[in-house]
């Protein structure tokens, strides 16, 4: 289930986050820089589950 969308606003998958970690990302800031996740601040509004 690595294709699960984690960040809806930037369309970032679990696989992309794991890849960032495998390639040296150590902090949330690192993950944001590499993947673009959590940079638009709209995930809660765009998440079909509402969470």
Beta bridge partners of 12: 7
pLDDT score for 45: 60
pLDDT score for 23: 97
> Splitting the chain (51 residues) into consecutive groups of 10 residues, what average pLDDT does each group show?
86 96 96 90 60 51
pLDDT score for 12: 93
Burial of 28 (0-12, 13-18, 19+ CB in 10 A): exposed
pLDDT score for 48: 58
CB contact at 8 A, 1 and 13: no
């Amino acid at each position: 289930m690595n294709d699960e969308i984690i960040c809806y606003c930037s369309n970032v998958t679990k696989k992309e986050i794991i890849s960032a970690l495998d390639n040296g990302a150590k902090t949330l800031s690192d993950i944001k820089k590499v993947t673009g996740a959590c940079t638009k601040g709209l995930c809660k509004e765009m998440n079909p589950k509402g969470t």
